[in-house]
Amino acid sequence: MARKTTTDDPLAPVTLAVGQEELLLDRAVQQVVAAARAADPDTDVRDLMPDALQPGTLAELTSPSLFAERKVVVVRNAQDLSADTIKDVKGYLGTPAEEITLVLLHAGGAKGKGLLDAARKAGAREVVCPKMTKPADRLAFVRSEFRATGRSATPEACQALVDAIGSDLRELASAVSQLVADVEGTIDEAVVARYYTGRAEASSFTVADRAVEGRAAEALEALRWAVSTGVPPVLITSALAQGVRSIGKLASAPRGARPGDLARELGMPPWKIDRVRQQMRGWSADGVAIALRAVAEADAGVKGGGDDPEYALEKAVVTIARAARAGRR
């Protein structure tokens, strides 16, 4: 989720939105534009890519208007601005014009770092929009989306939505909006399953769940469906790794501990502790080791180390399912 500095006025002279998460960058822009139009419905908005901002263009856009109108100037991919234009922007940062809000969108890397540093030194309001690569971050995003609407969703429902939709924040936000609009009361896992059944079946986490439960046939069926619908193989190996590691973590945890205590210690939500406890029946320490090796081999296979990524995944799924069943004999 976007985080802001202590200067939290959307109408600050300069807003710096830093990161590579497109949805959050767009929301940072939308917030500024909404605040400007609330102050002046006739606010003029200029949304520019780097090639449209030539030397001298910023001076023209920020020069005093005959009608003293409010203006928002948005510069996307500011790290790609030419050296001469960056000089113009740096010069402007020292003496920003009244009734003008400049919004700089910057990827945050080494490229164009001088402009980034100059904006921060000038006291720009900063909104951080990091790329959400971790499932936990996307889960937190979904929870925040429900909270923002004033609606409640169970932890299982939030997790099911992430499992079904995947990593695209725009799709996750859209799914939350749809559920909130269509469903009354608390949104639970059954509701999510009803709306997103086809996608949930194609989820990498469904493949992992069936595999660690020892249900090889169902895991293979889910795997083939996932691959056929375009789920990237690397996401499937990641889900398999998470499933096996969760079992290993819980197996080595103190016996008799409460789910809440385990959740804090292992970094899992309490509801997941209960799910993993059910999945780990039949697992042994040797089985976890075998499964982790199988995941590592599959990961290498799908990243170019093998000729057939799908075969590498199928082999890993079968090995994991066998390891899950070994302790039940």
Which pLDDT tens digit goes with each residue over 170-211? 888 988 998 998 889 999 988 888 777 656 545 688 889 899
The whole-number pLDDT of residue 105 equals 96
Which of 1-5, 185-189, 239-243, 292-296 bottoms out in mean pLDDT, i.e. has the lowest?
1-5
With b meaning 16 or more CB within 10 Å and e meaning fewer, what string describes 293-321?
ebbebbbebbeeeeeebbebbbbbbbbbb
**Spatial distance between the Cα atoms of 51 and 55, rounded to a whole number of angstroms:** 10
- CA-CA-CA-CA torsion for 20, 300, 136, 146, nearest 10 degrees? 70
Q: Name the band, by pLDDT with cuts 50, 70 and 90, for residue 252.
A: confident
Whether the CA torsion 19, 24, 26, 29 is positive or negative: it is negative
The whole-number pLDDT of residue 198 equals 58
The whole-number pLDDT of residue 258 equals 67
Q: Supply 264's token pair.
A: 């804090």
Which comes out higher in pLDDT, residue 257 or 138? 138
Which comes out higher in pLDDT, residue 254 or 210? 210
Q: What is the per-residue pLDDT across 9-34, written as a single tens digit (0 to 9) for each? A: 999 999 999 999 989 999 999 999 99
The whole-number pLDDT of residue 271 equals 67
Domains detected in the chain:
14-129 (3.40.50.300), 140-196 (1.10.8), 204-324 (1.20.272.10)
Find the mean pLDDT for residues 78-97.
Answer: 94
Q: Name the band, by pLDDT with cuts 50, 70 and 90, for residue 225.
A: confident
Q: Supply 31's token pair.
A: 């917030």
**Spatial distance between the Cα atoms of 289 and 295, rounded to a whole number of angstroms:** 10
Find the mean pLDDT for residues 94-98.
Answer: 90
Q: What is the per-residue pLDDT across 99-134, written as a single tens digit (0 to 9) for each? A: 899 999 999 989 999 999 999 999 999 999 998 888
Q: What is the 3-state secondary structure (H, E, C) of the chain?
A: CCEECCCCCCCCCEEEEEECCHHHHHHHHHHHHHHHHHHCCCCEEEEECHHHCCCCHHHHHCCCCCCCCCEEEEECCHHHCCHHHHHHHHHHHHCCCCCEEEEEEECCCCCCHHHHHHHHHCCCEEEEECCCCCHHHHHHHHHHHHHHHCCCECHHHHHHHHHHHCCCHHHHHHHHHHHHHHCCCCECHHHHHHHHHHHHHCCHHHHHHHHHCCCHHHHHHHHHHHHHCCCCHHHHHHHHHHHHHHHHHHHCCCCCCCHHHHHHHHCCCHHHHHHHHHHCCCCCHHHHHHHHHHHHHHHHHHHHHCCCHHHHHHHHHHHHHHHHHHCCC
The whole-number pLDDT of residue 87 equals 95
What is the average pLDDT score of the chain? 86
The whole-number pLDDT of residue 68 equals 61
Model pTM above 0.95: no
- Please answer whether residues 311 and 285 qualify as being in contact, where contact means their C-beta atoms are separated by less than 8 angstroms: no
Q: Name the band, by pLDDT with cuts 50, 70 and 90, for residue 153.
A: very high
Q: Name the band, by pLDDT with cuts 50, 70 and 90, for residue 4.
A: very low
Find the mean pLDDT for residues 221-226.
Answer: 85
